[in-house]
């Protein structure tokens, strides 16, 4: 028996490869499928099944391309309706993978079709369970992602999730390994723990949601404090349900090298220029009206949250990073990448084209400017919970996820000098690029963000009363 977790940190996503006796299965594959095919070759195995725990909302699954490449059967749980051929498992249905057995356990709550897969070893003993978004380490899946047309409310789904956990998960043996679909940082739960695996016994002891003694208490616990899901979640769920273009076709189009003149022609239309270089390189010079989302951060997640899916994208990358950029965009459902600037920004500069820039300042400069500039406004783009735990006095909290709404930008005036910061400097550069596109040029990016600001004794800070000890 061989089980491997393939974890993608920038999406906090875990896929799994299972092999026994020359047969293999993949659980919740990402859209780029090469790793699974390579593992099958290394183990001289045939991929027999692709087990999907539910219609994923935070990434596009590789189920279709992997099934086409291997002939594997795509398996979903009860209540599943798709636009392509799948095997809809019955609750309790058992599948064989070599000498192993995999039992489908229907666990509605996160979504209606959510299903966990209990794996038993060669001796028939419960070994592990692939829980998808039903059970995480320290958390459970959010119940507010009902699909378009569904009649179930968030509370309805939370109640279903309680029943699923109590009837299907809690009774399992304590030493059963828990393999969830996500780890820390995922927006599919409220506050996932730092590990990416656990056991049933440990979750019974430590998971707040499993400690709820009544359904009512559980519903309240899992629904309180939920932030709004990223805007791309329903788009990805629909893609996973209805199908998509092959990633090979997307790569072929997205990896077209474009000359400076071709990029200029695209920029004169409705196309959007996306710059994925490191933040420090971007601020020192970029194509006017570009949007920055650097590969070094949670790139795909922020791209899905902030960029339109109906616009053509032109890419500006570090040389050699083009394929990674297109692949990571495709993972969250983007398909209109039209090519990349050949030669990167060096080619743009060599052609003598216009550059824009963002001024980076240190926190001590902010400290010096605050007392003497009546038009200075500090814009903190962290999440409200981060802001509440400590922020510059009189700062405006405008979380990055809100900055695609033109109404939020209307609060700023041309006379204001905007100083933008986040926790460490990544999100603030994204925010600054969005402000630039809206015509705000009197702005500064505070390097080091809140981590540096809070060390400045001359800058007044405060906490929200709700989090004061």
The pLDDT, as a whole number, for residue 151 is: 82
359-467 has which CATH code? Answer: 3.40.250.10
Q: Assess whether the region 2-232 and the region 359-467 belong to the same CATH fold.
A: no
**Is 31's pLDDT higher than 90?**
yes
pLDDT digits (tens, 9 = 90+) for 42-53: 999 999 999 999
Of 466, 298, 387, residue with least CA distance to 378: 387
pLDDT digits (tens, 9 = 90+) for 263-309: 999 989 989 999 999 999 999 999 999 999 999 989 999 999 999 99
The pLDDT, as a whole number, for residue 404 is: 84
The pLDDT, as a whole number, for residue 225 is: 84
**Is 375's pLDDT higher than 70?**
yes
The pLDDT, as a whole number, for residue 465 is: 67
Angle at 240 between CA 227 and CA 28, to 5 degrees: 85
2-232 has which CATH code? Answer: 3.60.15.10
The full DSSP string for 122-176 is TTS-EEEEEEETTB-SS-B--S--PPTT----HHHHHHHHHHHIIIIITTS-TTP
- SS3 per residue for 6-48: EEEHHHCEEEEEEEECCEEEEECCECCCHHHHHHHHHCCCEEE
Higher-confidence residue of 28 and 409: namely 28
The pLDDT, as a whole number, for residue 466 is: 53
Structural class in CATH, domain 245-350: alpha beta
What does pTM read for this prediction?
0.92
The pLDDT, as a whole number, for residue 426 is: 97
Cα–chain-centroid distance for residue 323? Answer: 19
Average pLDDT score over residue span 189-198 = 93
**Is 55's pLDDT higher than 70?**
yes
The pLDDT, as a whole number, for residue 226 is: 87
**Is 338's pLDDT higher than 90?**
yes
Higher-confidence residue of 200 and 468: namely 200
Q: Where are the domains of the chain?
A: 2-232, 245-350, 359-467
**Is 467's pLDDT higher than 60?**
no
């Amino acid at each position: 028996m061989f089980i491997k977790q393939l974890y993608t940190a920038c999406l906090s996503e875990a896929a799994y490869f299972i092999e026994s006796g020359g047969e293999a299965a993949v659980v919740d594959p990402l859209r780029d499928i090469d790793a699974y095919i390579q593992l099958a070759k290394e183990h001289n195995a045939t991929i027999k099944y692709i087990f999907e725990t539910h219609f994923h909302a935070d990434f596009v699954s590789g189920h279709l391309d992997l099934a086409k490449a291997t002939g594997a059967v795509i398996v979903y749980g009860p209540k599943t309706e798709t636009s392509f051929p799948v095997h809809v498992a019955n609750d309790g249905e058992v599948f064989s993978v070599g000498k192993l057995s995999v039992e489908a356990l229907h666990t509605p709550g996160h979504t209606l079709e959510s299903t966990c897969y209990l794996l038993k070893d060669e001796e028939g003993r419960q070994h592990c369970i692939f829980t998808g978004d039903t059970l995480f380490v320290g958390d459970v899946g959010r119940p507010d992602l009902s699909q378009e047309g569904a009649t179930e409310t968030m509370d309805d789904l939370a109640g279903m999730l309680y029943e699923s956990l109590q009837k299907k998960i809690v009774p399992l043996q304590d030493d059963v390994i828990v393999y969830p679909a996500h780890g820390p940082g995922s927006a599919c739960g409220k506050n996932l723990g730092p590990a990416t695996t656990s056991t049933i016994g440990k979750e019974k002891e430590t998971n707040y949601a499993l400690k709820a003694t009544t359904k009512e208490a559980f519903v309240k616990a899992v629904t309180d404090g939920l932030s709004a899901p990223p805007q791309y979640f329903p788009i990805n769920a629909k893609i996973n349900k209805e199908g998509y273009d092959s990633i090979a076709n997307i790569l072929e189009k997205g990896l077209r090298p474009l000359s400076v003149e071709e990029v200029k022609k695209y920029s004169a239309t409705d196309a959007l220029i996306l710059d994925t270089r490191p933040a420090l390189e971007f601020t020192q010079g970029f194509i006017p009206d570009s949007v920055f989302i650097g590969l070094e951060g949670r790139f795909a997640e922020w791209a899905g949250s902030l960029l339109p899916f109906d616009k053509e994208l032109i890419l500006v990358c570090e040389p050699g990073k083009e394929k990674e950029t297109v692949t990571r965009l495709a993972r969250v459902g983007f398909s209109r990448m039209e090519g990349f600037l050949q030669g990167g920004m060096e080619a743009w500069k060599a052609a003598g084209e216009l550059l824009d820039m963002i001024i980076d300042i240190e926190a001590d400069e902010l400290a010096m400017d605050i007392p003497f500039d009546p038009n200075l406004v500090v814009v903190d783009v962290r999440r409200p919970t981060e802001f509440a735990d400590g922020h510059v006095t009189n700062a405006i909290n405008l979380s990055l996820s809100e900055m695609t709404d033109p109404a939020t930008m209307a609060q700023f005036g041309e006379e204001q000098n905007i100083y933008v910061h986040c926790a460490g400097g990544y999100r603030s550069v994204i925010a600054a690029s969005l402000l630039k596109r809206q015509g705000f040029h009197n702005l500064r990016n505070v390097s080091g963000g809140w981590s540096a600001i809070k060390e400045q004794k001359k800058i007044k800070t405060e906490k929200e009363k709700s989090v004061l000890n």
